[in-house]
Structure 1
């Protein structure tokens, strides 16, 4: 290595450590007192290298992480909780949770470093699911799992990204249209291709446009609008709208609405395609004075809320 390059590199390293600076000054003073002018440069470089190597191997390192406890997760949740407790707290059974971890493992698994061990992949998923299933703050979740508050935020982004990349496109699919129509027909809704409705997800008051997020029930929320099949499985979803926005406005601004409008215009290409009232493909409950048949229809429809027909 070139002496000048070595000197510059070690000097740069020295600038980051008070102890290293003291070593550098001491060695430089010793070198200036040396009578050997011919080899003084090489001796100086070698002393620098030896001194720094000795410093790096002997100085006691201080870890910046505060002491935390993982007893609750390691020994209570993983080993003692039964399925009922998992359902109450994580909204899923332990077997489902472990299956989810296996699916996300290719992206979420990490290797430890010399400074600290990597956070276990199951624990990362548990932090994300717990935050989704409860109204707990980042600080509360961090204390619960024995991690830092900033770690909770990082883990959430990592888990959500993994879910989007691995599970979203596989889970939220249109499915077999003919099977869905047949399934709804057996339930008393012929020519039906899906059911759509919105639900309010409670949130903390945002820092901006606060009034836009207050829904008709009086609390802050964001809206999830979901389309499901006859089994209740998601086949389309849209989220992120403020709680004050009406369901109709949200639906008219979704990609699903635009696609259905285009398909409706091309309905002549599909002879089995049904025609229903209200925008020709969207059916809502009856209103006003109802006879027995309309009441029966509304009762059947009430648990689906709004019926989206093909």
Structure 2
């Protein structure tokens, strides 16, 4: 476990570095990392779980207080893990920044814990494409019920994923207010992914080879992230796709209706007064 944690916690750490530091052979290092990775990854169904009804209500209360979204239970976003060039289909893994990456779709709750992850698509894949081909996409109607997730403009606006209005230069004051409040709530997933990569800096540039091994390692890091967060204080209020796609990006009229209803219910932003 010490070998695995040192490897996961240091950016660009190689097996040779581990071999020298722990005075063990390269083959032993490889076996240790692989075995520990597979074991921790196998715990994901028990550790990375969709919230219970009680936890949904806690998360909804958090987002209500934070940004006014009364039925939000989490946030969704994608991130890229830089990897060494694969032996085949290298061009598929080049992301928009020109890096060779693997994508991870993550959903977090109010406590910055992962409640669902999906890893494995090459870096050139758009977040919307990854989402619509992930296992969670067809299960959102039963998983969310009356609740929904908050996402950015890369995702289609549906009944279960609320996204900002696209700024075409003609947004109303209410729609601009909606976008600002959604952004302030959706920042939870940005924080969660940032904490994950700071804890396990190998995720900035993972030196493992093979997509299967990489996926299990990323999943193992997410499992450890949730376990580490177990000791943190749970959220306290005092502290503070059912329809088919109607267009090419997957947005639905029901999703737009839900977004419009939320937009109308949000209180307007208070204008800051200038000091004379």
Mapped contact 1:283–1:306 kept (Cα < 8 A): no
Mapped contact 1:128–1:155 kept (Cα < 8 A): yes
Could you list the runs of 5+ residues in structure 1 that have no partner in the other structure? 1-124
Mapped contact 1:196–1:305 kept (Cα < 8 A): no
Looking at structure 1, the residues matched to 176 and 143 of structure 2 have their Cα atoms a distance apart, in angstroms, of: 31
Q: 2:32 aligns with which of 150, 155, 159?
A: 155
1:89-116 CA distance string (max 9 Å, x none): xxxxxxxxxxxxxxxxxxxxxxxxxxxx
Gap change, CA 1:229 and 1:299, over 3 Å in 2: same
Structure with higher helix content? 1
Distance apart, 1:253 and its partner CA: 1.3
Q: How does 1:31-46 map onto structure 2 within 5 Å? A: none
Looking at structure 1, the residues matched to 4 and 100 of structure 2 have their Cα atoms a distance apart, in angstroms, of: 22
Looking at structure 2, the residues matched to 181 and 253 of structure 1 have their Cα atoms a distance apart, in angstroms, of: 26
Q: 1:169 aligns with which of 15, 28, 45?
A: 45
TM-score using structure 2 length: 0.57
Higher-Rg structure is 1
Looking at structure 2, the residues matched to 274 and 239 of structure 1 have their Cα atoms a distance apart, in angstroms, of: 22
Moved more, 201-210 or 185-194: 185-194
Identify the residue that residue 6 of structure 2 maps to in structure 1. Answer: 130
Identify the residue that residue 180 of structure 2 maps to in structure 1. Answer: 299
> Does residue 1:282 correspond to 2:161, yes or no?
yes
The structure whose RCO (Cα within 8 Å, separation 6+) is larger is: 2
Looking at structure 1, the residues matched to 22 and 180 of structure 2 have their Cα atoms a distance apart, in angstroms, of: 45
SS in 1 for 2:38: helix
Identify the residue that residue 64 of structure 2 maps to in structure 1. Answer: 185
1:3-56 CA distance string (max 9 Å, x none): xxxxxxxxxxxxxxxxxxxxxxxxxxxxxxxxxxxxxxxxxxxxxxxxxxxxxx
Q: 2:21 aligns with which of 132, 144, 152?
A: 144
1:187-214 CA distance string (max 9 Å, x none): 1222112110001011111111111111
Could you list the runs of 5+ residues in structure 2 that have no partner in the other structure? 151-155, 190-240, 242-254, 259-276
- The alignment of Structure 1 onto Structure 2 pairs a total of residues equal to 179
1:154-181 CA distance string (max 9 Å, x none): 111211122134x423321222222222
TM-score using structure 1 length: 0.51
1:258-288 CA distance string (max 9 Å, x none): 1114568xx6xxxx56799922221112222
